[in-house]
Amino acid sequence: MGLSLALNSARTSLSANAAQIAVTARNTAGANDPYYARRIANVVTAGGGSAVSVIRAADTALFGRKLLGTSETAGSGAVLDGLQTLSQTIGDTDSTTSPAARLGALNAALQAAANKPDSLDLARNAVEGARDLADSLSAAAAAVHTVRQQADAGMATAVARISELLVSYETANQTVTRGTALGDDVTDALDDRDRILTQLSEEIGISTVVRAGNDVAIYTDSGVPLFERGARKVSFAPTAGFSAGSTGGAVMVDGVPVTGAASPMPLRSGRIAGLSTLRDEVAVRYETQLDAMAGGLVAAFAEPDTSGAGAAARAGLFTDGTATIPAAGVLAQAGLASRLRINAAVDPRAGGSLATLRDGGMNGPGYRANASGDAAYAGRLRTLASALGTDRPFDPATGLRANASLLSFATESAGWLEGQRKTAASLADYESTLLARTSEALSNAVGVNADDETAQALQLERSYTASAKLLTLVNDLLKTLMDAVR
């Protein structure tokens, strides 16, 4: 080997080793960054020299599965958070503050009052039990409205974040496509683009399509374009307040609704999909159950006409502020739970008479069952107590049995809510575990192993040292040669 050839080989080796050591240093520095993908230095020898090209480790299939797992985990987590809020606020069948428990307490109080109808203290206990039941249903309805409002606000926040991420994505994608065309190192921009895609998938389910020039288009998981050469507009109009029967606004992507019953291409995953399900389906279904319970109470405790005039029955112990008894349909009862209260005619706090619980007549003499005022009269109290255990029709829209007693309906409603929470918790755990496994697999495939990088760096340093020694040796030989020529 000639000295010039040896010199060139040593210099080429030094340059290649230095470039590879730099790549190893980048990998080591990015080892703790969850969005950093390992850089791979490829040495290409040609024309007596060498060049180092840097590529980025990637696994498209695993990354796509990670995006899907992120969306599904965020969606199920949003539903679970809302259900936990409802469950904690309302309680379950074992809670003394749940509607089911309040119904049981009222039933016991009525039976005790029927056993001693001349006791005002027992009558007062029954009226207070009715007040507690009405308050629990009203509080439950308020909790539903709060959860719906929070979900709506969460959707607004998610839409704002999506818009910001799409702007950032456009910048990163342009850097990638421009750098790819010029042959520049775009690995940092690719990391940035994947980071944005991961964050975007938390808010909305997405799919990606790689196109010419390393360009990547983004679509919702239902097929609506989010980014094609440019970011599409994502909009949402928050609702100021929710009440029974109210409908929240839909999230729009480029003018197409992607949430709500009217959406032709509804989202299937992501935080927005979960919040939409919570706001428009789960919470609404539970409120229909509360309203049905309230309607059943008004009907069960209604006062029939006793005058013989054939007048319609009117609201008795429970009322929404009117004497009307609502029909069994959901639309007729919408918002009844939030308006439910005890009749002022029997409420001693409002100047009412406790005796009307035993005798009737909250709606006047024509509705009095105990016309003689007999202190031992217990017929109406026993009728009211039995009414709680008597089957009555419920609207199928509640999702529970169409015929059930108030006591069993309230228990089934609490069980339904708890069942929804447990199902959501199981799904959230499953999705979270699957995402963790996918993230781990992706990290193993494209992430940085600090030990491997350290070993690689040591090996490259030894090669660099050997090349440096060869360069020194060639330099000494050339110096000796020059001295000999002189």
Q: What angle do CA 50, 52, 57 make, to 5 degrees?
A: 150
421 — pLDDT class (breaks 50, 70, 90): very high
CB atoms closer than 10 angstroms to residue 306 = 16
Question: Is the pLDDT score of 406 beyond 80?
Answer: yes
Q: 261 vs 154, 258, 266, CA distance in Å? A: 19, 9, 8
Percent residues over pLDDT 70 in the chain: 84
Q: Angle, nearest 10°, between helix axes 120-182 and 60-90?
A: 160
**Tell me: the pLDDT tens digits for 170-192?**
999 999 999 989 888 888 899 99
| Confidence label for 20 from pLDDT (cuts 50, 70 and 90) | low
Distance CA 430, CA 426 (A): 6
d(CA 1, CA 291): 95
Return the DSSP state at 37: -
Please tell me whether residue 49 adopts helix, strand or coil conformation. strand
Question: Domain residue spans in the chain?
Answer: 3-57+450-485, 64-434
Q: Which has more pLDDT, 288 or 476?
A: 288
Average pLDDT over residues 396-419: 91
pLDDT at residue 55, as a whole number: 78
Specify the pTM: 0.86
CB neighbours of 419 closer than 8 A, spacing ≥ 6?
none
Which residues share a beta bridge with 65?
none
For residues 143 and 148, give the distance between their C-alpha atoms in angstroms, rounded to a whole number.
9
